[in-house]
Structure 1
Amino acid sequence: MERKLGEQIIREIRRDRDYLDDAPVIEYLNTFGGTLLSAFPEARGEAGYDFFFFAVRDPMINAFALPGGFIGVHSALLLAAQNESELASVLAHEIGHVSQRHIARMLGKQRQDALIPLASLVLAALAARSSPDASTALLMGGQGMAIQRQLNFSRDAEREADRVGLSIMKEAGFDTSGMVSFFGRLQTATRAYNDSAPAYLRSHPLTTERIADIQARTRDMRYRQRADSLDFHLIRARVRVLQDLTPQGLLDAVGALDMQAQGKTRNQLAAAKYGLAFAALKQGNPDKAQELLQQAVAATQGPAAPIQNVNFTNLAIDIKLAQGKAADALKEADAARAKFPLSRGIARQYADSLIAAGRLDDAVAYLRDQAQLYRQEPQLQDQLAKAYAAQGKQALQHLALAESYALNGALPAAMDQLGIARRAPDASFYDQSLIDARERDWKAQWRDQMKEGQKEKL
């Protein structure tokens, strides 16, 4: 039930415009989180959670855990973390909440149906950024307020999460003092922050007493100096650009990155140039982006060196696609697949490059195989729809779009796409059979969701 609830909430979050659906950011967070979990396997808890880490665009320094192993990180937190030990302290703390099943323990005496209204709290928190009044209205119901009170973490739960987090950091080789320094910064930021979001999604109540307790626990731990990875700096620069994609927001990011470029370390310089290249691409200037990316690579690998970093490679492929150099992009993406076989971002860029190069049959074959292997990636269905559209295959295009909507939890929109696919002039007998089967399944799922909604109202 925890996992089901977490999946329901994450589907709602993914539909929000502030969900950072950016492959390099998601890959970094999950690789980093995976490092923590690998060093301390018992953190997966008795339920053996399959964790998923993601980011949302938000100016508040915060992170939060959802039931079932979903952990969200605000973009401002990534920018505020000064090193990977500080970032590890926050993720380890949130892993502690999940592994100790704090949410389930607090709601254990409630009926199972009482878990479902938690999704409305997440929606209210998301609505708070654009419409505080709407958020307040969502939270004023008696049931919502009752659940919100249940979600206020007790001091014991926070201390338990701190203890587990410290153990995870120690086993993973991070500097445990990073928890003290970052939580102190988070405490300061929290004092100046006030909004109508529910307590569960606001910064945890980091009291002076709790910080003192962390200091006492870390006092006898041996200091460990850990060098930050280049990817940490690159992702922070990327997030700085993604924080605000308005023209003024991009100008502000460029100004901050220009100042960072004055830094004395190679990683700081490389990250600043990488961020400036990414910003130039977002501003529609791929040639300038190419020049800045070359400077970023030279700062860490030397001039004329082949790119060895996955984030550099990802941006290089995007630049070539933006320049209209589809053949070059395809060549680089194909080589990158062999170099970085676990990168989902590179895999999807390879498909984009096949489509851009006009190799539509190859793109469809590749994407169909990928969709069978990675059934929960709606991006693959979106790319399939694009490839089918370029081939003029209307029925298959709308079938792929229907699959994408369904994976994102938008079942009514998915069924609308099935209707369009059914009426397409090129819909074959096989297509019609598949449409009928999908429609039966999704209608049954929708009826179940409506029943749950009726139970919630009762």
Structure 2
Amino acid sequence: MTALFASSAFIAVLPASAQNLPNLGDTAREELSPVMERRLGEQIMRDIRRNRDYLEDAPVLEYLNNFGASLIAARPEVRGEADYDFFFFAVRDPMLNAFALPGGFIGVHSGLLLAAQSESELASVVAHEIGHVSQRHIARMIGNQKQDALIPLASMILGALAASSSPDLAAATIMGGQGVALQRQLNFSRDAEREADRVGLQILQEGGFDTSGMTAFFGRIQTASRAYNDSLPAYLRSHPMTTERIADIQARTRNQRYKQRADSLDFHVIRARMRVLQDSSAQGLREAALAFDSQLQQKSRPQSIAAKYGLAYIAFRQGAYDKATALVQEARALMPPNKSMPLASLGIDIRLNANQPGEALKEAELARSQFPMSRGIAHQYADALIAAGRHADAERYLRDQAQLYRQEPQLQERLAKVYAAQGKQSLQHLALAESYALRGSLPAALDQLSIARRAPDASFFDQSVIESREKEFQARMREEIKERQAGR
């Protein structure tokens, strides 16, 4: 998976598209502006979202963003003067890894979520990444590089990251005449990691998490990464030695009282879901089922609920809908109602895929009342309306939702489906154009607008909208081309 800035003892790789950076403006500036930083992050995210290992999974995304929001709420000043709009997401990768991108985008590897034994451990890593964003490490890193005309930005970042994973590659980078600036970048990264640790620790303390979760998880990372990290000489490390960081954190928390914090039920449920998503091959599902069967033997209610959820999710993916329904009911019997959005979401998915639209709509209506703020449930409610043939209701609902949540391409995609069922060709392709534009595919959006213009039912009003959106998308395309050329 790809990233611009890796954290802790973790490794990441710069995406090829990030080498075509937007125009950074005045080279005398010491750091990237918040606006340009966000635009750069969005540009990188467009490529990440197109990667097959990006997990566009509603329950996982919702859990991570709710969890991240709770950390930020514990220390709101981490939004800083830039007032970052954070977005947390997951990628399918077994490595213990997490990373921050410019502008407040924070990625978590599936392996990291599965390795975390508690929400305090997960919080320690996510809070650390929030610290990178809060302290504007990425903007400062890029700003510092702009003052050194000897080295291209992308090459310097790649060289620093290569030093963590390949001594030979790092040596080649240094021999290429980039040694001085590379060393400068490495030094900055060590300071940045220490600073992010301090900010992360403050978030944990104020959020009521167990601060020992940070040292416990860093110890696990140290064990997992020793083969490729601790063997490097100190001057080639882009991050402090894990033992050094653990010692520093232990010194800061030595006199603090132990805080026991109960994990949320959804932490266990989402880890079960992630186990299935990480490897959905036949062998992967067999191994996951064995792990869930073993988990059931622990006789812990949260673990049992999560294990039954995991087995239900496997059955769902295998098309065994009756078995999946029975397992969901068993999981629900173990807990009070209104407790788990992922469990409610899976129940709706099972009914939809089993071609039971009436039952799906009942489950979706109940879930909407239980989880009114859930975007995933909102999308599933629309799916249930469509499956039940209530296209007029679905259209009204989706149009209202699209007005409230203008940045969700999923709403436009569902609108296109409703319009297609109603035979509204022009509106169908207009909605598809909007969804493509929201996902950053402007050429595809313009193609859909051309189809919409030629549709036999395109009204005068539709033609006006098409013309307006064409002008806007074409202007955005010209601006993106100009930025890419300026960044070369």
Bucket of the pairwise TM-score, normalised by the shorter protein: 0.7 to 0.9
CA positional deviation for 1:111: 5.2
Aligned mates of 2:296, 2:157 — CA distance in 1: 41
Residue in 2 that maps onto 1:353? 384
Task: Tell whether the 8 Å contact from 1:68 to 1:98 is kept in structure 2 after alignment.
Answer: yes
Which range moved further: 89-98 or 429-438? 429-438
1:97 aligns with 2:128: no
* AA partner of residue 384 (structure 2): S
Aligned mates of 1:155, 1:236 — CA distance in 2: 31
Aligned mates of 1:446, 1:117 — CA distance in 2: 24
SS in structure 2 of the partner of residue 272 of structure 1: helix
Task: Tell whether the 8 Å contact from 1:173 to 1:226 is kept in structure 2 after alignment.
Answer: yes
Q: Deviations over 1:335-393 (max 9, x none)?
A: 22222111001100110000000000111111111111111111111111111111122
2:265 to 217, 230, 253: 230
Which range moved further: 243-252 or 176-185? 243-252
Which range moved further: 31-40 or 145-154? 145-154
Residue in 1 that maps onto 2:13? none
Aligned mates of 1:365, 1:146 — CA distance in 2: 61
* AA partner of residue 439 (structure 2): N
Aligned mates of 2:467, 2:323 — CA distance in 1: 50
Residue in 1 that maps onto 2:436? 405
* AA partner of residue 234 (structure 1): V
Aligned mates of 1:229, 1:323 — CA distance in 2: 30
Which range moved further: 258-267 or 366-375? 258-267
SS in structure 2 of the partner of residue 108 of structure 1: helix
Aligned mates of 1:382, 1:218 — CA distance in 2: 49
CA positional deviation for 1:108: 1.8
SS in structure 1 of the partner of residue 487 of structure 2: helix
Residue in 2 that maps onto 1:366? 397
Residue in 1 that maps onto 2:43? 8
Task: Tell whether the 8 Å contact from 1:46 to 1:99 is kept in structure 2 after alignment.
Answer: no
Aligned mates of 1:318, 1:151 — CA distance in 2: 48
Residue in 2 that maps onto 1:434? 465
Runs of 4+ in 1 over 3 A off after TM superposition: 109-112, 116-122, 142-153, 202-206
Aligned mates of 1:290, 1:7 — CA distance in 2: 39
Q: Deviations over 1:227-250 (max 9, x none)?
A: 111110000001111112223322
Aligned mates of 1:378, 1:61 — CA distance in 2: 30
* AA partner of residue 423 (structure 1): R
1:58 to 93, 96, 100: 93
Task: Tell whether the 8 Å contact from 1:106 to 1:151 is kept in structure 2 after alignment.
Answer: yes
Q: Deviations over 1:216-270 (max 9, x none)?
A: 1111111101111111000000111111222332222222222222222111111
For 1:160-309, what aligned pairs fall within 5 Å after superposition? 160-192=195-227, 206-301=241-336, 306=337, 308-309=339-340
Residue in 2 that maps onto 1:324? 355
Residue in 2 that maps onto 1:45? 80
Aligned mates of 2:297, 2:351 — CA distance in 1: 28
Q: Deviations over 1:291-330 (max 9, x none)?
A: 11111122234xxxx5542222111111111222211211
* AA partner of residue 408 (structure 1): R
* AA partner of residue 473 (structure 2): W
Task: Tell whether the 8 Å contact from 1:9 to 1:119 is kept in structure 2 after alignment.
Answer: no
Aligned mates of 1:407, 1:264 — CA distance in 2: 46
In structure 2, the CA distance between the partners of 1:424 and 1:193, relative to structure 1 (3 Å rule), is farther
SS in structure 2 of the partner of residue 25 of structure 1: helix
1:392 to 393, 405, 423: 423
Residue in 1 that maps onto 2:12? none
Task: Tell whether the 8 Å contact from 2:142 to 2:153 is kept in structure 1 after alignment.
Answer: no
**TM-score normalised according to structure 2 size:** 0.82
1:420 aligns with 2:451: yes
* AA partner of residue 171 (structure 1): E
Aligned mates of 1:158, 1:74 — CA distance in 2: 19
In structure 2, the CA distance between the partners of 1:24 and 1:148, relative to structure 1 (3 Å rule), is farther
Task: Tell whether the 8 Å contact from 1:190 to 1:203 is kept in structure 2 after alignment.
Answer: no
Q: CA RMSD in A?
A: 2.9
2:103 to 60, 68, 75: 68
Aligned mates of 1:55, 1:178 — CA distance in 2: 21
Q: Deviations over 1:400-451 (max 9, x none)?
A: 1111111111111111111222222222222222111111111111111111
Aligned mates of 1:226, 1:299 — CA distance in 2: 21
1:455 aligns with 2:486: yes
In structure 2, the CA distance between the partners of 1:66 and 1:341, relative to structure 1 (3 Å rule), is same
CA positional deviation for 1:177: 0.5
In structure 2, the CA distance between the partners of 1:109 and 1:308, relative to structure 1 (3 Å rule), is closer
Task: Tell whether the 8 Å contact from 1:118 to 1:147 is kept in structure 2 after alignment.
Answer: no
In structure 2, the CA distance between the partners of 1:444 and 1:252, relative to structure 1 (3 Å rule), is same
Question: Identity, % of aligned pairs?
Answer: 68
Aligned mates of 2:180, 2:430 — CA distance in 1: 42
* Structure 1, unpaired ranges of 5+: 126-135, 195-201
* AA partner of residue 363 (structure 1): A
Task: Tell whether the 8 Å contact from 1:61 to 1:203 is kept in structure 2 after alignment.
Answer: no
Residue in 1 that maps onto 2:369? 338
In structure 2, the CA distance between the partners of 1:149 and 1:4, relative to structure 1 (3 Å rule), is farther
SS in structure 1 of the partner of residue 106 of structure 2: strand
CA positional deviation for 1:286: 1.1
Aligned mates of 1:443, 1:71 — CA distance in 2: 30
In structure 2, the CA distance between the partners of 1:145 and 1:348, relative to structure 1 (3 Å rule), is farther
In structure 2, the CA distance between the partners of 1:53 and 1:204, relative to structure 1 (3 Å rule), is farther
Aligned mates of 1:387, 1:48 — CA distance in 2: 37
Q: Which has the higher contact order (CA 8 A, sep 6+)?
A: 2
CA positional deviation for 1:96: 0.6
